[in-house]
């Protein structure tokens, strides 16, 4: 230990300069840290539930990729509302990262071909003229296809929905935020043009909303935790030089940890970030009171 102490004292200028340079360098790489856009895997790979889930994804692909927009079915009989509903689907379909849009105005007729012994599909013709008569006839025809009942519409419950499927790559990336924002923007424009209220749901929408909320609260929690730690030091310890050095050390440690994560391309999970803040706050408070 004495030899280590002598080495540090003898080379304190070099070691201090090295720490400063590394802190600046790792602080630069800390900007590359991004939040995780996938759910944290809590179960091990050999767990039965995890195995069954992987089998599900193998056959049915990524789950939780659908965002749903709902409205009242009877309001689609209004030609202006029906036309705006169709335009809304077209705008959303043109957003980069959207795989498909399915709604009552863009369905396929499913028929069984006896000669070929298989099902065939064809596009249900969209009304050429958007007026009360053509819209009513089109919607009445759609209701003959019972396959879509309780999936795309339910006249008894006065529900019509538009299902929007995200590409898996964009869903699990930062692009999910901008895609969801674009969908919400188009939905609000529809409401403004028609006066008809829309309801949005689905995992992409929920995950985006929750991520932004948790991100904001985590940032506030971090600053509150830091401020409270400083206040404890000022009130109970008159903020001695040792406390100041300790705070500097904590800052350097944070730069090192986050910078290394940035270099390795590690994604930060906000929940884990909150736990780290709580643990850090607990030990700092304990150290202050026992100092």
Which token pair is 153?
């519409």
pLDDT at residue 291 is higher than 60: no
Angle at the Cα of 106 from the Cα atoms of 100 and 110, rounded to 5 degrees: 100
Distance CA 167, CA 201 (A): 17
Alpha-carbon torsion (189, 194, 197, 202), positive or negative: negative
Answer with the residue of higher pLDDT: 147 or 95: 95
By C-alpha distance, which of 263, 269, 191 is closest to 26? 263
Cα–Cα distance measured from residue 43 to residue 24, given in angstroms and rounded to the nearest whole number? 37
Please state the rounded mean pLDDT for residues 38-54. 70
Tokens, residue 282: 């607990």
Strongest mean pLDDT among 67-76, 143-152, 217-226, 244-253? 67-76
pLDDT, greater one: 47 or 126: 126
pLDDT band for 271, please (50, 70, 90 cuts): very low
The residue with greater pLDDT, 161 or 61, is: 161
Classify 224 in phi/psi space as left (phi over 0), alpha (psi -120 to 50) or beta. alpha
> Cα(first)–Cα(last) distance of the chain, in Å?
23
Burial class (CB in 10 A: 0-12, 13-18, 19+), 146: exposed
Residues 6+ apart with CB under 8 A from 158: 72, 73, 74
Q: Looking at the predicted structure, is the pLDDT value of residue 274 above 50?
A: no
Pair 82, 103: CB distance under 8 Å: no
Choose the most confident range, by mean pLDDT, from 91-100, 119-128, 201-210, 211-220.
91-100
Strands 108-113 and 98-102: unpaired
| CA–CA separation, 187 and 196 (whole Å) | 10
Mean pLDDT, range 24-35, rounded to an integer: 74
pLDDT of residue 23: 81
Token digits for 291?
Answer: 């100092």
Q: Let me know how long the chain is.
A: 291
C-alpha span between 247 and 198 (Å, rounded): 50
């Amino acid at each position: 230990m004495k030899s280590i102490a002598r080495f540090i004292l003898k080379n304190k200028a070099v070691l201090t300069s090295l720490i400063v340079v590394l802190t600046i360098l790792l602080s630069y790489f800390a900007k590359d840290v991004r939040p995780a856009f996938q759910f944290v895997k809590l179960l091990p790979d050999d767990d039965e539930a995890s195995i069954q889930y992987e089998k599900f994804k193998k056959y049915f692909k990524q789950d939780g990729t659908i965002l749903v927009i709902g409205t009242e079915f009877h309001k689609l009989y209004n030609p202006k509302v029906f036309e705006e509903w169709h335009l809304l689907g077209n705008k959303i379909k043109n957003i980069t990262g959207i795989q498909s849009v399915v709604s009552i105005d863009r369905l396929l007729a499913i028929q069984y071909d006896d000669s070929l012994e298989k099902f065939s599909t064809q596009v249900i013709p969209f009304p050429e003229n958007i007026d009360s008569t053509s819209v009513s006839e089109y919607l009445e025809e759609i209701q003959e296809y019972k396959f879509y009942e309780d999936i795309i519409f339910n006249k008894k419950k006065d529900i019509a929905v538009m299902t929007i499927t995200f590409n898996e790559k964009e869903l699990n990336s930062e692009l999910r935020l901008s895609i969801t924002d674009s969908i919400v923007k188009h939905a609000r424009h529809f409401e403004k043009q028609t006066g008809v209220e829309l309801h949005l749901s689905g995992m992409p929408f929920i995950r985006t909303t929750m991520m932004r909320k948790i991100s904001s609260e985590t940032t506030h929690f971090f600053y509150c935790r830091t401020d409270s730690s400083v206040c404890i030091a000022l009130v109970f310890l008159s903020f001695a030089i040792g406390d100041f050095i300790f705070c500097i050390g904590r800052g350097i440690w944070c730069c090192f940890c986050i910078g290394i994560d940035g270099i390795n391309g590690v994604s930060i999970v906000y929940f884990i970030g909150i736990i780290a803040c709580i643990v850090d706050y607990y030990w700092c408070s304990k150290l202050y009171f026992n100092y």
